[in-house]
Amino acid sequence: MSFLGKMFGGKKGDKPMSTGDAIQKLRETEDLLIKKQEFLEKKIETELATAKKHGTKNKRAALQALKRKKRYEKQLQQIDGTLSTIEMQREALEGANTNTAVLQTMKDAANALKAAHQHMDVDQVHDMMDDIAEQQDVAREISEAISNPVAFGQDIDEDELEKELEELEQEELDRELLDVGPATEDLPSPPTAEVVKPKAKKQEDADDEDMKELLSWAN
């Protein structure tokens, strides 16, 4: 059985693991491999330092250190590939888990909607809406009837009222015309003093004398 099969309990006939449990297992494996990575990186640094330390003084020890370093680097490379695979699988499971939750929610909502509609009949709904509209019309007619003032004396002839009004206006106009102009006793009395007529002739003679005198000076 493969490593992943052992990790997820992959025996035939066993009940498959839930997506949530599988995601948790993958995260735990990721943490384990990351710790292994950190360990190998430290080992690589140690072997590299050992090789530098021996150098040409102990060539055999330096070469052994470099060989171990190569093995650690190969293991580190394998872990990198495994982590990439696990990460992609975890992301796929998380997406599937999200889709499952969304679909379940949609299914529950559809069932709830179906259950709600079971208590409703389309024809009954239409009948109820018609009843509501009819009652609204009745209420509107009642409101209009209440809001209109009670009309008394609607049998009065409007033309007759108009004629009576015109007669009243004509009588008022005639009265105003008769009252125009002051009364005889209010007229001013004629003047009693003697009117002094202007002495136009004497004034003309005086003007002629003045003109003659002016002409004599001019000559």
Q: Where are the domains of the chain?
A: 20-118
Q: What is the CA radius of gyration of the chain?
A: 63
Nearest to 21 by CA among 70, 94, 86: 94
User: Average pLDDT, whole number, for the chain?
Assistant: 79
For residue 1, pLDDT over 50 is answered with no
* HEC secondary structure over 44-63: HHHHHHHHHHHCCCCHHHHH
For residue 219, pLDDT over 70 is answered with no
Question: What average pLDDT does range 37-45 have in this prediction?
Answer: 95
For residue 217, pLDDT over 60 is answered with no
Question: How does DSSP classify residue 186?
Answer: G
- The span from the CA of 106 to the CA of 97, in Å, is 14
Query: pTM score > 0.75 for this model?
Result: no
For residue 75, the Cα-to-chain-centroid distance in whole angstroms is 59
Nearest to 31 by CA among 77, 75, 87, 73: 87
Q: Tell me, what's the pLDDT at 116?
A: 81
pLDDT digits (tens, 9 = 90+) for 109-166: 998 888 887 777 778 888 888 889 999 999 988 888 887 765 555 566 777 878 888 8
Q: Tell me, what's the pLDDT at 192?
A: 58
Nearest to 6 by CA among 178, 58, 14: 14
Q: Locate tokens 């007619």: which residue?
A: 141
Buried b (16+ CB within 10 A) or exposed e, 154-177: eeeeeeeeeeeeeeeeeeeeeeee
- The span from the CA of 8 to the CA of 93, in Å, is 14
Cβ pair 26, 34 in contact under 8 A: no
Q: Tell me, what's the pLDDT at 49?
A: 92
Greatest extent of the chain over all pairs of C-alpha atoms, in Å: 169
User: Domain 20-118 in CATH: superfamily?
Assistant: ESAT-6-like (1.10.287.1060)
pLDDT digits (tens, 9 = 90+) for 64-121: 999 999 999 999 999 999 999 999 999 998 898 888 889 899 999 998 888 887 777 7
Residue 187 sits at φ, ψ, to 5 deg, of: -70, 150
pLDDT band of 3, cuts 50, 70, 90? very low
